[in-house]
Structure 1
Amino acid sequence: MRRLYCENVHCSRRTFAEQVEGLTVRYSRRTPAARRVLEAVAVALAGRAGSRLAAALHTRASRSTLLRAVMALPDPAWTVPRVLGVDDFATRRGQHYGTVLIDCETGQPLDLLPGRDAATLAGWLREHPGPEIICRDRAGSYADGARTGAPDAIQVADRFHLWQNLGTAVERSVRRHSNCLKTAASRADGLPNDAVADYADAQKKMSPIEARIRERHATVHALLAQGHGIREIARELHMGGNTVRRTARAAAPEELLSGRHQPRPSQLDPYKPHLDKRWAEGFTNAIDLHAELQDLGYRGSYQTISDYLRPRRRRRIRVVAPAPPGVRQVTGWLMRRPDHLGDEERQQFTTVLAQCPELTALHGHVRTFAEILTTRSGQHLKDWVTATRAEDLPGLHTFATGLEKDWDAVVQGLTTCWNSGPVEGRVNHIKMIKRQMFGRAKLPLLRKRVLLTAAHGSHRHQA
């Protein structure tokens, strides 16, 4: 590029630089191509992250330069949509919120507004007249704002939010009948028959000493049958000679189970069958059993009974009643399609419905509403509301009252194809960009990046 001198002595500009169209711009330190690269980096990554990428691309720029470049870009062009989507998003969850507006037919975000009150939406609609359909959630402020700013527009309540509101009402109804859930849970009143049988089998099991004696007796007699001598057997089994002889003399293992391995006779012996029977029936209190035996003529001490029952307590089979299903678990069963339940869930759910007729009626109303929602047959909603009023289900009554307050929008949501799905997707996009900037971006920068990233993405898809 050449720098030229002015020959006119009266000219205030002594020198001037030659400009090349498409390559240079007056008073700019970067070429248009380099500037566009930085703008794309700034839109995608904003400040610090964009600055690091720019350095890797050999076009260094500070984070402040990149943020100024983003804010200097013009908003993407758009026309007033025929179908407008409205929803809120959090700039700081629980404290500060904004409103996002999108074109539901193209998915393009149009604007981000501060606040989520009716006046903000109504003001925007007055400045941009033309929407014929407004898709929104169940918030009353958006209903009022749409009614004030665009009175001729048709409002459509989102089906997802209707189903979500129904879930809240169902959970409230289930909680009101939570006693039915406890009744439905199987109870362990004493030991059931199969547990008694298992317990009897456990009582028949031999002790470790008895098992060892029986095994030793069988081994010694097997070796004797093979022709081995006493000393040879003692060496092979690492046993004393006298022990081998005593085992060889015993015709059956029971002859060896004497002395300290066999309990001594006691006053309790005649009453042990009665104790075993009562224990198997689930009566395990030693004090009560001692009183029963005294009525039968037992004159021994309580301690003798307690010592006799102690080994049984260690081996006692504990039957624990299963915990009843929780309120939210039953709510999930009611809200899900029956064919989406597992076999065990379906069995538990059937038990709950059998114990609680109110939940059976509730399940029927939920399935009917689900059919109205999925088939978009909003003309049957009035009959559904009438049927719920006839049941003792206050949770559904409250839900029906809320539907009646927003009746026209609800019927439109259950009849037309429009919904707030595209708006919810854009809210997720806003969350992603906000978190990318660690939640520190103010609304103007957040708004600019949301609009520009969506525009750049649509250009890529079109290309």
Structure 2
Amino acid sequence: MSNSLPIMPLADGLKLVVMKQEAGTIHLVMEMTSHFATCPVCGKASNKIRSFYKRTLRDLAWCGTPVIIRLTARRFACIDRDCQQRIFCERIPELVPAHGRRTARFTETLSALGRASSAEAATRLARNLGLSTSADTVLRAIRATPEPKMPTPRVLGVDDWAWRKGHSYGTVLVDLETHKVVDLLPDRQVSTLQQWLQGHPGVEIISRDRSQSYAKAAQMGAPNAQQIADRWHLLKNLGEALERWFHRLQPKLSQTVSAVEPRNQVTDNSSTEPTLGQYNRQVRFDEIQNLKKQGLSLRKIARILKLSRNTVRKYASVEQCPQAAQRIPSKTLLDNYIGHLQKRLADGCLNGRILFEEILTMGYQGSRPTVARWIREQKSIDHKDEEQPKTQVKAIAPRKLQYWFLTRLHKLPRKATRTLTKLLADIPELQRGYALVHQFHTMVRCRAGHTLPAWLNAVHKSGIPELKKFAVSLNKDYDAVYAGLTESWSQGPVEGINNRLKLIKRLMFGRARFDLLRKRVLLTL
């Protein structure tokens, strides 16, 4: 039979003797025809055949039918008397690796299926294709796949990735010119990244977030490389400073917002006693303030009270206990018919079934229990003692005001623009900060790094401690920040790869130990 058999491209010196089908399996009987074999130790060719032996190999299925290769191989005696390998078996690396029981293309197919999905899913798909295997075999095939040879990148992106968010992290290294993963590190320690950079000389530019660990590792591992601070992280740090600032100004903000929206008067028939949430918030505020007066750091306060440092920082940076922002009730299907229902209740109709049928003819698509529940609420309000309406001090969420500050004015809704304009007019400190924030935002958007020194001086003269603290952090990392506001490189491609890395990690269903995860990332991304 010719070696051009379409189902099995044969290697040199390999002959197909017979092909037969038994019990739903195709059997290919093959034998070797070459007169020489090369010793794997000394590399000399030998023609001294000593014995024969049988090898059974699994190959890719043909039209869904499993294929088994019955190969007659030979043992040769080495002609070099000084060689340690006296007897050796002839090898066919194009067909099967040494000691292998599956052909090379069978293993490559399992590895490709495993890299594209989880091991269990790859096993099910392989069985549908006529390839009998197990999840453990798929994992072994992935681990046995050689890693691609990645050249040392000129522009390197560095970011962390989460083994478990908030607990343990690793480091991903990306070539920003090719958008390919260069390596995956098991942690984000300074020494780990430093050793990698020292072992891969040639990196000229390193893009990173504001992490001081990565900054120190880059300085020690690649001292001649230019470091670039990511622009998105600069805006993120600015937003965090704004949020701390607005928490401190919460009482002034609430008074101004209430003055802007005098129509927001509510009839408060509830008890004047503080709610459980308000009480717990006040207790937490008092505890943090007392520990702060004792000179404890925010980290230690967070450890003692078992709170996050962001929560401790929020309560420690204000003089009064911050109030919870007013929740805006969500829209319901009943909103368009409230006026009709209130009018019918005023007329004396309290029958929920009649009211439901009336609004049903008007286009109401909700359920009857919703109408009944609304009527019960109205009845309970009517039976309480009526009190004079009093103006409720409306709190504005610091995060919402942060969004307003970082968004250009013409893109905000009309109501937000009106409120923000009133806030800036009534609170001079806000007006100064608003101008500085938008100057920095323009600097980031237009990459106008040459204006950074003047902006830092203006911040130090503004008298806003939160922005001054942010400016101090920029000064400590001035060269990288200036480069980030000047160069075009950013962490965008790294963040995208980080999201895909999360998908790969979750596909492994808890079986992704670091060696396997690293191999999959390098072979896939």
For Structure 1 versus Structure 2, the TM-score category normalised by the shorter chain is: 0.5 to 0.7
- 1:386 paired with 2:457, answer yes
**Measured at CA, do residues 3 and 440 of structure 1 come closer, stay the same or move farther in structure 2, by a change above 3 Å?**
closer
The one-letter amino acid of 1:2's match is: M
Residue in structure 2 matched with residue 149 of structure 1 by the alignment: 221
Rounded to whole Å, the distance in 2 between the matches of 1:115 and 1:451 is 17
Q: Which runs of 5+ in 2 are unaligned?
A: 1-28, 36-47, 55-71, 74-90, 268-345, 349-381
> Alignment partner of 2:497: what SS?
helix
Residue in structure 2 matched with residue 431 of structure 1 by the alignment: 502
Name which of structure 1's ranges 322-331 and 142-151 shifts more when overlaid on structure 2: 322-331
Q: TM-score, normalised by structure 2?
A: 0.59
Per-residue CA deviation, residues 40-72 of structure 1 (Å, 9 max, x unaligned), is 101112321211111111112111100000001
Residue in structure 2 matched with residue 177 of structure 1 by the alignment: 249
- Taking the TM superposition and a 5 Å limit, the aligned residue runs for 1:273-422 are 318=389, 320-321=391-392, 323-422=394-493
Rounded to whole Å, the distance in 1 between the matches of 2:189 and 2:262 is 61
Offset, 1:12: 3.9
Per-residue CA deviation, residues 152-195 of structure 1 (Å, 9 max, x unaligned), is 00000111111100101111111111122111133699999xx9
The one-letter amino acid of 1:80's match is: T
Offset, 1:22: 5.5
Per-residue CA deviation, residues 202-242 of structure 1 (Å, 9 max, x unaligned), is xxxxx979xxxxxxxxxxxxxxxxxxxxxxxxxxxxxxxxx
Rounded to whole Å, the distance in 2 between the matches of 1:181 and 1:158 is 32
- Taking the TM superposition and a 5 Å limit, the aligned residue runs for 1:15-414 are 15=53, 17=72, 27-186=99-258, 318=389, 320-321=391-392, 323-414=394-485
Offset, 1:424: 1.0
> Alignment partner of 2:395: what SS?
coil
Offset, 1:357: 1.3
> Alignment partner of 2:258: what SS?
coil
Rounded to whole Å, the distance in 2 between the matches of 1:130 and 1:437 is 34
Offset, 1:114: 1.5
Q: Which runs of 5+ in 1 are unaligned?
A: 196-206, 210-310, 455-463
**Measured at CA, do residues 189 and 408 of structure 1 come closer, stay the same or move farther in structure 2, by a change above 3 Å?**
closer
> Alignment partner of 2:215: what SS?
helix
Rounded to whole Å, the distance in 2 between the matches of 1:120 and 1:145 is 8
Rounded to whole Å, the distance in 1 between the matches of 2:409 and 2:240 is 19
Offset, 1:36: 2.3
Offset, 1:321: 3.8
Residue in structure 1 matched with residue 52 of structure 2 by the alignment: 14
Which is richer in strand? 2
**Measured at CA, do residues 445 and 189 of structure 1 come closer, stay the same or move farther in structure 2, by a change above 3 Å?**
closer
RMSD (Å), alpha carbons? 3.2
Q: Contact conserved, 1:191 with 1:319, CA < 8 A, in 2?
A: no
Rounded to whole Å, the distance in 2 between the matches of 1:190 and 1:359 is 22
Rounded to whole Å, the distance in 2 between the matches of 1:144 and 1:189 is 50
Rounded to whole Å, the distance in 2 between the matches of 1:25 and 1:350 is 74
Rounded to whole Å, the distance in 1 between the matches of 2:261 and 2:226 is 61
**Measured at CA, do residues 118 and 354 of structure 1 come closer, stay the same or move farther in structure 2, by a change above 3 Å?**
same
Name which of structure 1's ranges 377-386 and 322-331 shifts more when overlaid on structure 2: 322-331
Offset, 1:35: 2.6
Rounded to whole Å, the distance in 2 between the matches of 1:445 and 1:111 is 13
> Alignment partner of 2:170: what SS?
strand
Offset, 1:33: 3.3
Residue in structure 1 matched with residue 271 of structure 2 by the alignment: none
Q: How many residue pairs align between the two structures?
A: 339
Q: Contact conserved, 1:43 with 1:452, CA < 8 A, in 2?
A: yes
Residue in structure 1 matched with residue 25 of structure 2 by the alignment: none
> Alignment partner of 2:51: what SS?
coil
Residue in structure 1 matched with residue 87 of structure 2 by the alignment: none
Q: Contact conserved, 1:174 with 1:327, CA < 8 A, in 2?
A: yes
Offset, 1:140: 0.5
Residue in structure 2 matched with residue 304 of structure 1 by the alignment: none
**Measured at CA, do residues 124 and 25 of structure 1 come closer, stay the same or move farther in structure 2, by a change above 3 Å?**
closer
Rounded to whole Å, the distance in 1 between the matches of 2:467 and 2:110 is 56
Per-residue CA deviation, residues 73-107 of structure 1 (Å, 9 max, x unaligned), is 11112111110111111112222211111101111
Q: TM-score, normalised by structure 1?
A: 0.67
> Alignment partner of 2:396: what SS?
coil
Q: Contact conserved, 2:156 with 2:173, CA < 8 A, in 1?
A: yes
Per-residue CA deviation, residues 404-448 of structure 1 (Å, 9 max, x unaligned), is 000000000000101111111111111111111234411111111
Rounded to whole Å, the distance in 2 between the matches of 1:119 and 1:326 is 41
> Alignment partner of 1:120: what SS?
helix
Mark the structure with the bigger radius of gyration.
1
Rounded to whole Å, the distance in 2 between the matches of 1:56 and 1:13 is 39
**Measured at CA, do residues 6 and 401 of structure 1 come closer, stay the same or move farther in structure 2, by a change above 3 Å?**
closer
Per-residue CA deviation, residues 341-391 of structure 1 (Å, 9 max, x unaligned), is 101111111122222111111111010001111111111101001001111
Rounded to whole Å, the distance in 1 between the matches of 2:390 and 2:203 is 66
Offset, 1:338: 1.3
Q: Percent identity?
A: 40
